[in-house]
Amino acid sequence: MKRNGTLNSEIAKTLADLGHTDTVVIGDCGLPIPIDVKKIDLALKLGTPSFIDVLTELVAEMVVEKITIATEIHTENAAMFAQIQSIVGCEIEYIEVSHEAFKEQLSTTKAVVRTGEATPYANCILHAGVNF
Active-site residues, by number, are 20
Q: How far apart are CA 51 and CA 118, in angstroms?
A: 9
- Residue 66, classed as helix, strand or coil, is strand
74 annotated as belonging to a binding site for a ligand: no
121 annotated as belonging to a binding site for a ligand: yes
Q: How far apart are CA 83 and CA 34, in angstroms?
A: 27
CB 128 within 8 A of CB 20: yes
22 annotated as belonging to a binding site for a ligand: no
Nearest 10 degrees: Cα torsion 13, 46, 83, 56: -20
94 annotated as belonging to a binding site for a ligand: no
122 annotated as belonging to a binding site for a ligand: yes
Binding residues for substrate: 28, 99, 121-123
What residues form the annotated binding site?
28, 99, 121-123
